[in-house]
Amino acid sequence: MAAANAEVAHRAASDAELIAWVDEQDRVLGALPRAELRSRGLIGRGTFILLFNSAGELCVHRRTLSKAVYPGYWDIAAGGMVAAGESYARSAERELAEELGIGDAVLRDHGRFFFDQPENRIWCAVFSAVSDAPLVPQPEEVLEARFMSLEAAQRDTELKPYCPDSLVALQHYLANR
């Protein structure tokens, strides 16, 4: 019960966070609460970090059921929304540390793409990192996490629900690595 209450509190705080609001060309228009961006169909900025270990395995994780977008789905990227006034790179560093407990990895930038679905309109920055540090999943956002070969992860996406935006991030990474 305490874990569920923590998730609910985390979700409420997350919905109230001020997020970078941008247009279709990724120009900053201002800052709005995350929930308002979603409800109004506006565009925010997000980061996707593909975390590999030194054996070349990709970290996949399952999102908590309290997530506003894709609850309970599997995800092949750590990441999240870019806060108002925050750069893509700083957001990626923060998200990797928050979600998976990886704070010392060097991030490699693989460019941007626009993802446009109802309730999930975001300019996406794709990063990769390599780390063998132990994973420390954030319990309010991550139910479980593990490393698997890239090929196994790609096969797994055909069997389980995976976040569609992170699947596009993986395609972007593979085309731009």
The pLDDT tens digits of the residues spanning 64-90 come to 999 989 999 999 999 999 999 999 999
The set of residues, in sequence order, having a beta carbon less than 8 Å from that of 8 and lying 6+ positions away, is: 66
The pLDDT tens digits of the residues spanning 86-139 come to 999 999 999 999 999 999 899 999 999 999 998 899 999 999 999 999 999 999
Question: How many domains, the chain?
Answer: 1
Structural domain contains residue 94: yes
Structural domain contains residue 2: no
CATH number for position 55: 3.90.79.10
pTM: 0.92
Structural domain contains residue 9: no
Structural domain contains residue 139: yes
Structural domain contains residue 3: no
Structural domain contains residue 30: no
Show binding-site residues.
95, 99
Show binding-site residues for Mg(2+).
95, 99
The answer to whether residues 47 and 127 touch, using CB atoms and an 8 Å cutoff, is yes
> Which position has the token pair 């985390």?
10
Structural domain contains residue 59: yes
Three-state DSSP at 173 gives helix
